[in-house]
Chains A and B, each alone.
Chain A
Amino acid sequence: MMITELGHFALVLALAVALVQAVVPLVGAARGWRGWMGLGDTAALLQVLLVAVAFAALTHAFVTSDFSLALVTGNSHSAKPMLYKISGVWGNHEGSLLLWSLILASYGAAVAIWGGGLPPTLRARVLAVQGAIGVAFLAFLLFTSNPFLRLANPPFDGQDLNPLLQDPGLAFHPPFLYLGYVGLSMAFSFAIAALIGGRVDAAWARWVRPWTLAAWIFLTIGIAMGSWWAYYELGWGGFWFWDPVENASLMPWLFAAALLHSAIVVEKRESLKAWTILLAILGFGFSLIGTFIVRSGVITSVHAFANDPERGVFILLILAVFVGGGLTLFAARGAALQAKGVFGLVSRESALVFNNLLLSVAAFVVFIGTIWPLVAELFWDRKLSVGAPFFNAAFTPFIVALAVLLPLGAMLAWKRGDVPRAGRALVPVLLLSAGLAALAYSMQTQRSALGPIGLGLGAWVVFGSLADLWGRTGRQGFGERLARMTRLPRADWGKATAHIGFGITLFAVAALLSWKVEDIRVVQPGETFPLGRYDVTLVQVQTDLQGPNYLATQAELRVTRNGPQVTTLFPEKRVYPVTRMPTTEAAIDYGFWRDLYLVIGDQQENGGWTVRSYIEPFANWLWAGCLIMALGGGISLTDRRYRLAAGAAKAKAVTA
Chain B
Amino acid sequence: MIRALLLLLALATPVWAVELDEMLADPAQEARARDLSKGLRCLVCRNENIDDSHATIARDLRLFLRERIAAGDTDEQAIAAIVARYGEYVLLNPTTGGANILLWLAGPLLLLLGGGIAVATLRRRAVAAEVTGLSEEEQARLRELTGD
Contact = CB atoms under 8 A, between A and B. Distances in A.
Contact of B14 (A357, A522, A584): A584
Q: Which of B48, B89, B122 is packed against the most chain A CB atoms within 10 Å?
A: B122
Contacts of A235: 14-16
Interface in A85-139: 90-93, 96
A144 interface: no
B103 A388 contact: no
B88 A236 contact: no
A386 interface: yes
Q: Which of A162, A386, A387, A393 is packed against the most chain B CB atoms within 10 Å?
A: A387
Given A357-B115, A383-B89, A387-B41, A345 B2 contact: no
Contact of B126 (A345, A369, A582): A345
B10 A345 contact: no
Contacts of B89: 383-385
Contact of A384 (B15, B49, B94): B94
A365 interface: yes
B63 interface: no
B4 A388 contact: no
A243 B46 contact: yes
A390 B93 contact: yes
A357 B38 CA distance: 31
Nearest to B129: A342
B107 A389 contact: no
Interface in B94-123: 94, 98-100, 103-104, 106-107, 110-111, 114-115, 118-119, 122-123
B56 interface: no
B67 to A, nearest CB: 20
A341 to B, nearest CB: 10
A584 B16 CA distance: 9
B126 to A, nearest CB: 5
A156 to B, nearest CB: 24
Given A365-B107, A390-B94, A584 B13 contact: yes
A385 B111 contact: no
Interface in B118-145: 118-119, 122-123, 125-126, 128-129
Interface string A223-246: 000000000001110100111110
A379 B98 CA distance: 12
B13 A583 contact: yes
Given A242-B47, A368-B106, A357 B88 contact: no
A382 interface: yes
A96 B118 contact: no
A245 B20 contact: no
B72 interface: no
Nearest to B87: A383
B84 interface: no
B28 interface: no
A420 B87 CA distance: 54
Contacts of B87: 383
Contacts, number: 167
Given A354-B118, A385-B41, A162 B6 contact: yes
A380 interface: yes
Interface in A237-271: 238, 241-245, 248-249
A346 to B, nearest CB: 9
Contacts of B14: 235, 573, 582-584
B90 interface: yes
A655 B118 CA distance: 45
Contacts of B19: 610
Contacts of B114: 357, 360-361
A472 interface: no
A357 B118 contact: yes
A350 B122 contact: yes
Given A236-B17, A236-B52, A361 B47 contact: no
Contact of A96 (B2, B110, B122, B125): B2
Contacts of A159: none
Nearest to B113: A361
Interface in B57-79: none
Contacts of B92: 385-390
29 contacts: A90-B2, A165-B2, A165-B5, A234-B15, A243-B4, A244-B4, A245-B4, A245-B5, A245-B8, A342-B126, A342-B128, A342-B129, A354-B115, A360-B114, A361-B110, A361-B111, A364-B106, A364-B110, A365-B106, A368-B103, A376-B99, A384-B89, A384-B94, A385-B47, A386-B92, A387-B39, A387-B93, A395-B107, A602-B16
